[in-house]
Amino acid sequence: MRVLVLGGDGYLGWPTALHLSDRGHDTAVLDNLARRGYDRELGVQSLVPIEDLETRVAAWEEVSGRKIPAYTGDLLDADFVYRVLREFAPDAIVHFAEQRAAPYSMIDREHAVYTQHNNVVGTLNLMYAIAETNPDIHLVKLGTMGEYGTPNIDIEEGWLEVEHNGRKDRMLYPKKPGSFYHLSKVHDSHNLEFGCRIWGMRVTDLNQGVVYGQQTDQTVRDARLATRFDYDAVFGTVLNRFVIQAVLGEPLTVYGAGGQTRGFLDIRDTVECIRLAVENPADAGEFRVFNQMTESYSVSQLAALVAESFAGPVQVEHLENPRIEQAEHYYNVKHTGLVGLGLQPHLLSETLIESMFDIVSANKDRVDPAALLPTVRWQGPLKR
Q: Which of 144, 204, 216, 253 is catalytic?
A: 144
Among ligand NAD, ligand USQ, none, the one that 238 touches (CB under a kind-dependent 5 to 8 A) is ligand USQ
Among ligand USQ, ligand NAD, none, the one that 11 touches (CB under a kind-dependent 5 to 8 A) is ligand NAD
From its phi and psi, is residue 30 left (phi > 0), alpha (psi between -120 and 50) or beta?
Answer: beta
- Which is nearer to ligand NAD, 77 or 156 (by Cβ)? 77
The distance of closest approach from Cβ of residue 265 to ligand USQ in the complex, given in angstroms and rounded to an integer, is 9
CA distance 262 to 279: 28
Among ligand USQ, ligand NAD, none, the one that 122 touches (CB under a kind-dependent 5 to 8 A) is ligand NAD
- Which is nearer to ligand USQ, 101 or 271 (by Cβ)? 101
Does the annotation mark 231 as catalytic? no
Pairing label, strands 295-298, 261-266: antiparallel
Q: Please choose, from the candidates 378, 232, 256, 373, the residue with its C-alpha nearest in 3D space to the C-alpha of residue 318.
A: 256
- Which is nearer to ligand NAD, 9 or 272 (by Cβ)? 9
Does the annotation mark 114 as catalytic? no
Q: Which of 104, 181, 212, 331 is catalytic?
A: 181
Q: What angle do CA 176, 180, 182 make, to 5 degrees?
A: 55
The distance of closest approach from Cβ of residue 182 to ligand NAD in the complex, given in angstroms and rounded to an integer, is 9
Among ligand NAD, ligand USQ, none, the one that 186 touches (CB under a kind-dependent 5 to 8 A) is none
Residue 174's DSSP bridge partners are none
- Which is nearer to ligand NAD, 40 or 164 (by Cβ)? 40
Q: Please choose, from the candidates 282, 290, 150, 265, the residue with its C-alpha nearest in 3D space to the C-alpha of residue 209.
A: 265
Among ligand USQ, ligand NAD, none, the one that 142 touches (CB under a kind-dependent 5 to 8 A) is ligand NAD
Burial (CB count within 10 angstroms: exposed 0-12, middle 13-18, buried 19+), residue 158: buried
Neighbours of 136 (CB within 10 A): 12
- Which is nearer to ligand NAD, 186 or 314 (by Cβ)? 186
- Which is nearer to ligand USQ, 90 or 103 (by Cβ)? 103
Tell me the three state secondary structure of residue 367.
coil
Q: Is residue 76 a contact partner of residue 121, using CB atoms and an 8 Å limit? A: yes
Does the annotation mark 185 as catalytic? yes
Q: Please choose, from the candidates 105, 102, 186, the residue with its C-alpha nearest in 3D space to the C-alpha of residue 143.
A: 186
Amino acid, res. 216: T
Residue showing the smallest CB distance to ligand USQ in the complex: 146
The distance of closest approach from Cβ of residue 90 to ligand NAD in the complex, given in angstroms and rounded to an integer, is 15
The distance of closest approach from Cβ of residue 79 to ligand USQ in the complex, given in angstroms and rounded to an integer, is 28
The distance of closest approach from Cβ of residue 305 to ligand USQ in the complex, given in angstroms and rounded to an integer, is 14
Q: Name the helix (H) or strand (E) containing 181.
A: helix 180-199
- Which is nearer to ligand NAD, 195 or 236 (by Cβ)? 236
Q: Using CB under 6 A, list all residues that contact ligand USQ.
A: 100-102, 144-146, 182, 209-210, 237-238, 241, 253-255, 260, 262-263, 299, 323, 325
Q: Which of 71, 104, 185, 231 is catalytic?
A: 185
Among ligand NAD, ligand USQ, none, the one that 253 touches (CB under a kind-dependent 5 to 8 A) is ligand USQ
Among ligand NAD, ligand USQ, none, the one that 254 touches (CB under a kind-dependent 5 to 8 A) is ligand USQ
DSSP state of 364: G
CA distance 164 to 150: 22
Tell me the three state secondary structure of residue 249.
coil
DSSP state of 137: P
Contacts of residue 170, Cβ cutoff 8 Å, sequence gap at least 6: 159, 160, 161, 162
Q: Using CB under 6 A, list all residues that contact ligand NAD.
A: 7, 9-13, 31-35, 74-76, 96-100, 118, 122, 142, 144, 208, 210-211, 237
Which positions are annotated as active-site residues?
Answer: 144, 181, 185
